Homo-oligomer: A and B are copies of this chain.
Amino acid sequence: MLFFTQCFGAVLDLIHLRFQHYKAKRVFSAAGQLVCVVNPTHSLKYAPTLCAAAQTSTEQGILPPCHHHEAVHDPQLVPCMCPLFSCPWEGHLEVVVSHLRQTHHINILQGAEIVFLATDMHLPAPTDWIIMHSCLGHQFLLVLRKQEKHEGHPQFFATMMLIGTPTQADNFTYRLELNRNQRRLKWEATPRSVLECVDSVISDGDCLVLNTSLAQLFSDNGSLAIGIAITTSKVHNSEAEM
């Protein structure tokens, strides 16, 4: 009877593991680099709703609006920055990370260079792959989004945002790199602040943009590996001078 109970327990554990394997973000190390497996989030609502809500609330004097390329001084409360979730949460910039972790189960990874492995790239748009990255004393949000700007032609957009103010964001440079099939694509830019809408960054096209055929060329078995590196702008500039 004890043997039977143990067997049943083991089967339950296996089922639980399988479930976790699908739901959670797996992290492992390959060739010295931290690889983070990120599962997709199919979104029902777009953040413009959130922006509109924030705008309406601002008119009532509660929340700051979605700022586009503008510095926000001493923000008191910010709406939930988790893109594609129409989350009614609002809070200080300092507690955005804990909100994203606890409420939206977004993983946070440590390390100067990590590999973001987005699974199930074939899923229909709109879909998001999101991870937080802790580096150089700050937290960054990496968003990969599959979206149809032109009907029937989904594209992939990848950008990195600082969970901080635009002034703080100006101190950093992020690099996204794809490398496969004798092809290499690198995008380097200054991260935007999460106080700016991720939707505006993507609609402006000011990010790494991949059409479906390029995404397929860089994918392996339906997963896309994106190498991520963050440097301070100072280091970046001295490198450029060299």
State the A residues within 8 Å of B (CB).
Answer: 149-150, 153, 173, 182-190, 204-206, 209, 211-214, 217
Contact = CB atoms under 8 A, between A and B. Distances in A.
A206 B211 contact: no
Contact of A184 (B189, B204, B211, B217): B189
Nearest to A236: B182
A173 B214 CA distance: 18
Main DSSP-derived SS at the A contact region: strand
A211 to B, nearest CB: 5
Given A186-B184, A188-B183, A205 B209 contact: no
Contacts of A204: 213
Contacts of A214: 205-206, 209
A190 B186 contact: no
A227 to B, nearest CB: 13
A217 B211 contact: no
A209 B206 contact: no
Nearest to A150: B150
A217 B182 CA distance: 27
Contacts of A209: 209, 211, 214
Contact of A182 (B190, B205, B211): B190
Nearest to A188: B184
Contacts of A217: 206
Contacts of A187: 183-185
Nearest to A175: B184
A40 B212 CA distance: 28
Given A150-B153, A206-B217, 10 more contacts: A183-B188, A183-B189, A184-B188, A185-B185, A185-B186, A185-B188, A205-B212, A205-B214, A206-B214, A209-B211
In the complex, the 4 A-B pairs of residues with the closest C-beta atoms, listed nearest first: A205-B213, A184-B188, A186-B186, A150-B150
